[in-house]
Structure 1
Amino acid sequence: MYAALWRALPGPWPLKLVITLVLVAAVFLLLMEVVFPWVTTLMPYNDVAV
């Protein structure tokens, strides 16, 4: 799967590496800023009573 994605990217390998790093950073940022905070509100461990 990763080989097919690597072949689909344009340019020589240094450009492919830069594009891949940018995509990984974008996915990481999306997860940290949008997905994980949304999932946290759905988790049951937020309603703790001592």
Structure 2
Amino acid sequence: MYVWIWHRLPGTWQTKTATALGLFAAIAAILWYVVFPWVEPKVQFDHGVVDRPAPSGSATPG
């Protein structure tokens, strides 16, 4: 796939490299600022936080 993209980019290898880096940066920015913020509320992450109370018979450290 990358070879296919590389052969379709215009110019010398320097121009192709600059264009590929620009495309990569544009795609990364779109993901970072548009896609990920849109997906975040739809995905539930636990992050180790427990919302339910401990069982009544358990001892709490401390």
Short-chain TM bin: 0.7 to 0.9
Q: More relative contact order in 1 or in 2 (CA 8 Å, sep 6+)?
A: 1
Query: Cα RMSD over matched residues?
Result: 1.6
TM-score, with structure 1 as normaliser: 0.86
Q: Size of the alignment, in residue pairs?
A: 49
Question: 5+ unaligned residues in a row in structure 1: which ranges?
Answer: none
Q: Given the two structures, how large is their TM-score scaled by the length of structure 2?
A: 0.71
- Runs of 4+ in structure 1 off by over 2 angstroms are none
**Gapped runs of 5+ residues in structure 2?**
52-62
Q: Percent identity?
A: 41
Higher helix fraction (1 or 2): 1
User: Max radius of gyration: which structure?
Assistant: 2
